[in-house]
Structure 1
């Protein structure tokens, strides 16, 4: 039976990313032997949305997964909800479920007069190991998307929308989210799936996703309103990015990849499930990466490599972030290998 929340693609069918459309992006070596290879595709665009570099089939369609959250948060803000500080960040976060994260989610729920039971995301354990050890069980607020869902409930309260079915594709909130995604990606949104948290996830191309993050991040560095290009200096986008840059702990968690990249480089960074990652600079340079195998462990180094190649971030500072967040390859508790960028990506072929 077809899920009623699904949007079927148009006759101009979207194509998924395939092995043939992918390039080798990263390699894991253990004890002198290459053990695993990560394929995928990535693109960098400028503030005008023009492609600066592409690797692989960046016209392929993907589910952005949680990389869609900035656009969902903007939809909430555009609906009339005032969000600032950590509350704005939690609306766009894939948080680690620490006590500090849950306090902000509680504050968002309190604003709408909602309780944890009103969240439509599933119960989960905190992603933060220490918090998970202290938890008495899985709960909805600990689910990494609970901030987004609490913001959805706040939008429903603000606009008099039904809060019991806000994840339905035809709900006014999700119709508005679809329009926001189309606006920022510059694409027709003709397909939607159901994300892990239960909300609709709209399919975009990899390039469209990069355009969206470039526009959102670039709003923080734009000098003022530009006639004819409202999203380039969207005040809500500016406020959202400034909040993330000020409280990066809230979007991910201390020591975690997105938080480290934001704090150390001043970029807007957002991960998504199944190997998707976006980064954008306040100068309006954006990148989107999709790892074909769905594994995120090399995504940060790939995205930063693409940005460094365009002079968008400092090479030494980016390398420090890579080293701080690189997954270790261990044997008996000792380093016995390393994850590295592929020769194909860095240009050392033959």
Structure 2
């Protein structure tokens, strides 16, 4: 299904295929396109569910805002890195315990600073280091082994898989290895949307609602300053958002509905225009929807086209 098109100098240069599902406040599918019942890997959109699994397994944080970072894909800004160190320190660990790959920050500005300082990729700079710090803290709380915490058969990952299955309401179709080396669980786009809806509609004192509330209260910890997830949660009151690699994003708003989408070729630039179209189908109205409805296409540094929804 064609979801977005790339227009350059007035001509449709290319298109992006994909799948999208829109649920109403009752969890019913009100709009859909593509393969919304087939298994897919939500990539980092899994993270809020994984955090719930950690909480159910005994994770406790000194600051509730830590859960936003654990559930996020941070951009390596100083406040991100400092908070990862704090999570590890509270568990009696340091960044040497992390088993995510070494990486440069996702933020171009922070990446330039790291390189100008003569440094290189580090595990703590990797966008998933918050999640890994949370996983390690959960292991410490339970007395579980640390070196192999990424293994799908580790007690931590077994507990997380059980929580994910519960939250999305369907069995995990496949377990893969994510870019950070931790397990990633496959299920349908519809299940992804319903899982996000469950987070925002859960009782106030539940772990599900705690994760949703902390992410919405500190969206800069979920992504970074000025990034898509951050802007969405700042721009639409009550909206929970978490993107994932390869063109995935999921959002939900209590008493409104939920959306999950996947761009088939993994193009990240096509996500927001399609998502804005989906949110409008739910009656959501806010200036940020206009801001994110198109993505500029540049020629010689000048805007000569755009990526826009075709759905």
Alignment of 1:91 onto 2:36: no
Q: CA RMSD in A?
A: 1.5
> Shift of the alpha carbon at 1:286?
1.2
Alignment of 1:268 onto 2:251: no
SS of the residue corresponding to residue 288 of structure 1 reads strand
The 1-side partners of 2:214 and 2:184 are apart by 24
> Shift of the alpha carbon at 1:147?
0.1
User: Contact (CA 8 Å) 1:46, 1:214: kept in 2 or not?
Assistant: no
1:331 corresponds in structure 2 to: 299
SS of the residue corresponding to residue 328 of structure 1 reads strand
2:212 corresponds in structure 1 to: 241
TM-score (ref. length: structure 2): 0.94
Aligned length: 305
More strand per residue: 2
1:317 corresponds in structure 2 to: 287
User: Contact (CA 8 Å) 1:47, 1:215: kept in 2 or not?
Assistant: no
SS of the residue corresponding to residue 45 of structure 1 reads strand
> Shift of the alpha carbon at 1:240?
1.3
Cα distance 1:273–1:158, how it changes in 2: closer, same or farther (>3 A)?
A: same
> Shift of the alpha carbon at 1:190?
3.7
SS of the residue corresponding to residue 298 of structure 2 reads strand
Cα distance 1:46–1:172, how it changes in 2: closer, same or farther (>3 A)?
A: farther
> Shift of the alpha carbon at 1:307?
2.0
User: Contact (CA 8 Å) 2:295, 2:308: kept in 1 or not?
Assistant: no
Q: Which residue of 117, 133, 141 maps to 2:124?
A: 141
The 2-side partners of 1:300 and 1:333 are apart by 22
Q: 108-117 or 76-85: which moved more? A: 76-85
User: Contact (CA 8 Å) 2:176, 2:183: kept in 1 or not?
Assistant: yes
Q: How does 1:200-279 map to 2 (within 5 A)?
A: 200-219=183-202, 224=203, 235-266=206-237, 267-279=239-251
1:83-136 Cα offsets, whole Å, 9 max, x none, are: 344311111011100111101101111011112121110000001111101111
2:100 corresponds in structure 1 to: 121
Cα distance 1:194–1:46, how it changes in 2: closer, same or farther (>3 A)?
A: same
User: Contact (CA 8 Å) 1:261, 1:321: kept in 2 or not?
Assistant: no
Q: Which residue of 99, 103, 109 maps to 1:130?
A: 109
SS of the residue corresponding to residue 302 of structure 1 reads helix
Cα distance 1:285–1:167, how it changes in 2: closer, same or farther (>3 A)?
A: same
SS of the residue corresponding to residue 103 of structure 2 reads coil
Unaligned runs of 5+ in 2: none
User: Contact (CA 8 Å) 2:7, 2:305: kept in 1 or not?
Assistant: yes
1:31-61 Cα offsets, whole Å, 9 max, x none, are: 1221121100100123443212111121111
Alignment of 1:283 onto 2:255: yes
The 2-side partners of 1:322 and 1:202 are apart by 29
SS of the residue corresponding to residue 269 of structure 2 reads coil
> Shift of the alpha carbon at 1:148?
0.1
> Shift of the alpha carbon at 1:243?
1.1
1:110 corresponds in structure 2 to: 89
The 2-side partners of 1:255 and 1:321 are apart by 12
Q: How does 1:162-177 map to 2 (within 5 A)?
A: 162-177=145-160
